[in-house]
Amino acid sequence: MRQVIAGAVIAAISAFGGVASAAGVCTIQNGYKMDSGTYKAVVDAGHDAFKSNRKVANCEVKEVLTALKGKPEQTTVFFGPMTQDECSLYKSLSSINSKLEQGKLSDAYSVNAQMIAKVGSIQIDPAAAASITGAANETATCISDAMK
């Protein structure tokens, strides 16, 4: 499966050229607010998969809006209620998305790696953890291939 996705990434980059196309393909794999990829795995895990007692009424996620010129604008999206651990994953997904849209592939890769480590350290249902980690590893592969 991983080789098929990696091949698709390379084909898409070759067909359309450049970092922007690679970032677009990896943005879909990250799936923030697209109901795909890692985002879908977090949503599908559901609130009950996160076992922490630390809850937040509103999870404030900052999103960077793409700008044609100058400094990109930010907006805040509210999710909730949920655990702080789940909120942290949504913040990571938003950050990865933003960095991909800005063409900062190395930064996106680093945030994705930190998110994978976080999933391994929080109280979460093992099946949900495996699903999220698997999807995030696919995102990592996509970004890594795009950086080559």
**Joined tokens for residue 56:** 């937040």
Q: Where are the beta strands (DSSP E) in the chain?
A: 55-56, 59-64, 74-79, 82-83
> Mean pLDDT of all residues in the chain?
83
Calpha distance 57→132 (Å, rounded): 23
Secondary structure percentages of the chain, helix, strand, coil, to 5: 65, 10, 20
Whether residue 16 is predicted with pLDDT greater than 60 in this model: the reply is no
Structure confidence at residue 102 as a pLDDT band (50, 70, 90): confident
Residue 119: alpha-carbon gap to chain centroid: 12
Q: Which amino acid is at 14?
A: S
State the pLDDT at residue 11. 42
State the pLDDT at residue 21. 65
State the pLDDT at residue 3. 41
User: CA separation (Å) from 50 to 33, 40, 101?
Assistant: 20, 15, 29
**15, 24 Cβ separation under 8 angstroms:** no
Calpha distance 10→17 (Å, rounded): 10
**103, 77 Cβ separation under 8 angstroms:** no
Structure confidence at residue 90 as a pLDDT band (50, 70, 90): very high
State the pLDDT at residue 70. 65
Q: What's the pLDDT tens digit per position in 127-139?
A: 999 999 999 999 9
Strand 55-56 relative to strand 82-83, pairing: antiparallel
Give the global pTM. Answer: 0.80
Calpha distance 132→43 (Å, rounded): 10
Query: What are the residue boundaries of the structural domains of the chain, listed by start?
Result: 2-147
